Amino acid sequence: MLKQASFQRNLAEDYTKRAVEYVRRRKSKQYYTALFAPAAYIEQFQSVHKFHFYISFEQLIKYYRNEQQLGRRAEYKINVLTKAIEKYKVKKVSSREYIPTEVNQGIPSFWYHYWQDVTQRYPDLTMPKPGDKGPAATFIGLGKTKLPKGVFIYHKFVHGSVDLQLEGLHERADTCIDMLKPYIPADMSIQRAGKAAVVIRLPIDPINPHHFYDEVQPTVFEAQDKAKRLLDWFQQHRLVWDEFCSNK
């Protein structure tokens, strides 16, 4: 389990307790805790945070400089880590305040390039211009202004699917599936999602947002094409959905 968090005095001990519980439940055979941070931070606060291992940004920079075969990828990672070190030195923050946010800049960068592409390629797949995004931001909502209340299109890029999601159905979910199933093309599937939703799904390869965007762009385009298909499908069968909603 990899975790980014605001540091507190007992953070390592809390992670150790959680890891022990994972072992007890047989979800893991062994565990170690590690702190990944600038060397100056580790030196200053190592006596406070009792982790098993300490890995500095500087150590990783040295590693990437020796891995010439990584090319641009290594240069990018070195730049990100260097900026994080500089930010720590400038702010001189305390152990409770330091969070190396630069390390996660791959996600907002991915969202921004995604927004640029979908806005140009499919203006009706409306997507708000994204702001800062954290590591949990893995569902991209599309076409909201073209869809009624309770209906959403999500590109779930880590999970590997593009979904037309029908929410708030609860006990009527199975009835909804039965009503829409005759209209579902062979390459789409329809299924329940949790207790209250139904999704009409098109599979797609998962995307790692930390890769260079040009490497994943072909999969992004394929996902956007599938999102447009789902939007067109819903608009074509809107009367079926409206009939279902009116028979509450």
pLDDT (0 to 100) of residue 124 = 95
Kindly state the percentage of the chain with pLDDT values over 90: 50
Convert 64-91 to b/e letters by CB count within 10 Å (16 or more is b): beeeeeeeeebeebbebbeebbeebeee
Q: How many CB atoms lie within 10 A of CB 96?
A: 11
**Per-residue pLDDT tens over the stretch 95-124:** 444 445 444 556 788 899 999 999 999 999
- Cross-strand partners of 155: 140, 162
Q: How many CB atoms lie within 10 A of CB 37?
A: 26
Q: Where are the domains of the chain?
A: 11-101, 106-246
pLDDT (0 to 100) of residue 7 = 54
Rounded to 5°, the CA angle 154-110-224 comes to 40
Rounded distance, CA 157 to CA 83, Å?
Answer: 27
Determine contact, residues 20/31, Cβ cutoff 8 Å: yes
Determine contact, residues 35/12, Cβ cutoff 8 Å: yes
**Per-residue pLDDT tens over the stretch 62-90:** 998 888 787 777 888 888 888 888 877 76
Rounded to 5°, the CA angle 149-150-151 comes to 95
Q: How many CB atoms lie within 10 A of CB 179?
A: 15
pLDDT (0 to 100) of residue 103 = 46
Q: Which residue has the tokens 């070195």?
A: 78
The two three-digit tokens of residue 190, written as one number: 């329809």
Determine contact, residues 126/143, Cβ cutoff 8 Å: yes
Over range 41-56, report the average pLDDT.
Answer: 81
**Taking Cα atoms as reference points, which of 168, 158, 165, 114 lies closest to residue 137?**
158
Rounded distance, CA 116 to CA 124, Å?
Answer: 13
**Per-residue pLDDT tens over the stretch 147-188:** 999 999 999 998 999 999 999 999 999 999 999 999 999 999
pLDDT (0 to 100) of residue 238 = 96
